[in-house]
Structure 1
Amino acid sequence: MRFDLHTHHERCGHAVGEVEDYVLAALDQGLDAIGISDHSPFFHSDKEQADPGIAMEKREFPAYVKDVLRLKEKYADRIEVLLGVEADFLPEGVASYRRQLQKYPLDYVIGSVHYTFGRNIFDRDRWKGADDEDLFKVKEAYFDLIAASARSGDYQVLGHIDAIKGFCPEITDIQTNKVENALQTIAEEQVAIEVNTSGKMKACGGWYPSEDILERACFYGVPVTMGSDAHHPRRVGDDLEAVRAKLKDIGFTEWWLFREKKPVSVAL
């Protein structure tokens, strides 16, 4: 079975195309299932749209859900359309997100850490002039948040768990036991991590997470899934077969997709 659980569309403000464009792209790629998982609004904020160009307005979310459910029905005999969302893990916002997201018939929620110490990890400027001590502190805080997101019980998938390397590749070489601790927590909670192929377009030049993290994840029994993190329809399913081959080489025998927040094991 071929699927891609991580895709975006124009509502978030930094992706191209409508939801249906991604469904059609998945059909062109011969996928059996496509997950639509655009960035949720910043539900914890008092603002209607806390960060334009990053996430959709709050009032857009019901329309987003309705749109995906319409396409789920329209294409039911051709491809399985799964309703997902990518939600920021923000400790101060957990209750707000939980309260809002439980209103909708989501198939899965991707929990992603995009912020440490109040700054976006994809902000290139935050890494300028950072020394090893700075990188150590940020990396420890980042993987503490990854572990906390796994413990929250709010997510079926954890997004791009080493995306902190995106525009700071050298942080990969900073050693901390927080990475190992996070993997052990994720395994205990049985939350899936995604192999996210969008990292190859960042300065780090490779998938999230790195192969060594995937090897440790396999050792601990962490479930895996696949997501292109497509922000353009042409990237739907990107590197899917290469991901499948690498996971098999590492020792994984299955990957997961989700229906009604329940895992479905698919043989690799």
Structure 2
Amino acid sequence: MIDFTHDGHIHTPFCPHGSTDALEAYVKAARTRGLKTITFTEHAPLPAGFVDPTPDQDSAMSLETLPEYLDQVARLKQAYADVLDIRVGLEIDYLPGFAEETIALLEPFANRLDETILSQHFLLDDGDYLPVDFSLETFDVLVKRLGSFEAVVRAYYESLEAGLRFEWERLNVRRIGHLDLPIKYEKQYDWEREHVKDIETRLLRTIQVRGFGLDLNTAGLRKVDCGKVYAEAVAVDAIALGIPFVLGSDAHVAMDVGRDFEDIQKKATFR
């Protein structure tokens, strides 16, 4: 059963590639849309040895700003406690080769985190970290290097499956973010999901065994080359495995909080 009054994936002005909308603006938008619970999940700081491969190197907040982020959301939680359940969390990147460093970096803050998301925005190929969702141009580099769109999706699933062997519970990870992020650009390619169904099924079973949920992420609806909810295509199989879903707008601006939730609620899959 999905809680349509909870937006579990929201960014903030602490996001270097987001907006300058104040935290209060996100709260106002949530209340306007009738939400009862919101979870702020700002992009967690990246480990020192990792060099952000995006052209703008703006994928995550710095470690220096993390305490301020936590403090500001804590104040917001208290200020609006009577009208809205506000939770503080992070969107943590699984970086192949840097998982242990990431956990060590963020574990000192774990006792202040209500819930976190584990996501993957980069793939490691032949020693290079390549962005998955920065732009169509950078994604096409991945397709050309790996050979096909299906090969990118397969590599994405395989990488995430490998990443789940680490102790993410130490950082209060509750769910996996936008499980099928590569479909952000799927309209530009011909591909068949059946060609990756085996690894998709294996990944879902690994997620089930680990006890994690999934982020049912509406941001894909707002992407011109996608037009789909991230993780919707795996919903039937995930539900059959007992994997819980939490809706997430992946809002990077206040106006997107809770966006498209009403449309998702109408879909028979989630009734």
2:6 counterpart residue number: 3
Give TM-score, length-normalised by structure 2. 0.83
* Amino acid corresponding to residue 233 of structure 1 in structure 2: A
Amino acid in structure 2 at the alignment position of 1:11: F
Map of 1:258 onto structure 2: none
**Larger RCO of the pair (alpha carbons < 8 Å, separation 6+):** 2
Are the structure 2 counterparts of residues 100 and 245 from structure 1 closer, same or farther at C-alpha, using a change threshold of 3 Å? farther
Residue 13 (1) aligns with residue 16 (2): yes
Instruction: After TM superposition, list the pairs within 5 Å mapping 1:140-151 onto structure 2.
Output: 140-151=154-165
In terms of mean alpha carbon deviation, does 219-228 or 170-179 score higher? Answer: 170-179
Counterparts of residues 83-102 of structure 1 (less than 5 Å)? 83-102=88-107
Give the partner amino acid of 1:139: V
Q: Using the alignment, how far apart are the partners of 2:9 and 2:191 within structure 1?
A: 24
Q: Which residue of structure 2 lines up, in the alignment, with residue 158 of structure 1?
A: 176
Q: Provide the secondary structure at the position in 1 that maps to 2:72.
A: helix
Which of 129, 139, 148 aligns to 2:153? It is 139
Partner of 1:79: 84
- RMSD across aligned positions (CA): 2.5
CA distance in 2, matches of 1:228, 1:88: 18
Displacement, 1:210? 3.2
Q: 1:233 aligns with which of 254, 259, 262?
A: 254
How much does 1:152 deviate?
2.7
Q: Is the 8 A contact 2:100 2:166 kept in 1?
A: no
In the alignment, the residues of structure 1 paired with residue 103 and residue 190 of structure 2 have an alpha-carbon distance, to the nearest angstrom, of: 32
Distance in 1 (alpha carbons) for counterparts of 2:25 and 2:49:
30
1:45 is matched with which residue: 49, 56, 81?
49
User: Counterparts of 1:107-146 in structure 2 under 5 Å?
Assistant: 107-116=114-123, 117=125, 118-122=129-133, 123-125=135-137, 126-127=139-140, 130=144, 133-146=147-160
Q: Secondary structure at the match of 1:12?
A: coil
The answer to whether 1:173 aligns with 2:192 is yes
SS in 1 for 2:101: helix
SS at match of 2:87: strand
Partner of 1:206: 228
Deviation per residue, 1:207-237 (Å, 9 max, x gap): 10133x1111112221111100001111101
Q: For residue 229 of structure 2, what is the amino acid of its counterpart?
A: W
| TM superposition score normalised by structure 1 | 0.84
Assess, with a 3 A threshold, how the Cα gap between structure 1 residues 64 and 124 changes in structure 2: closer, same or farther.
same
Q: Which residue of 2 aligns with 1:260?
A: none
Task: Report the counterpart of residue 69 of structure 1 in structure 2.
Answer: 74
- Give the 5 Å matches for 1:213-224: 213-224=234-245
Secondary structure of the corresponding residue to residue 111 of structure 1: strand
Code of the aligned partner of 2:184: G
The aligned counterpart of 1:262 is none
* SS of residue paired to 2:178: coil
User: Is the partner of 1:87 in helix, strand or coil?
Assistant: strand
Structure 2, unpaired ranges of 5+: none
Deviation at 1:242, TM superposition (A): 2.8
Quickly say closer, same or farther: Cα 1:86–1:172, change in 2 above 3 A: farther
Give the distance between the partners of 1:171 and 1:89, measured in 2 at CA.
Answer: 28
SS of aligned partner of 1:230 = coil
Deviation at 1:172, TM superposition (A): 5.1
The answer to whether the Cα contact below 8 Å between 2:50 and 2:98 also exists between their aligned partners in 1 is no
Q: Is the 8 A contact 1:44 1:97 kept in 2?
A: no
1:44 deviation in Å?
4.2
Q: Distance in 1 between matches of 2:162 and 2:190?
A: 21
Alignment size in residue pairs: 249
Letter matched to residue 29 of structure 2: A
CA shift, 1:55, in A, is: 1.2
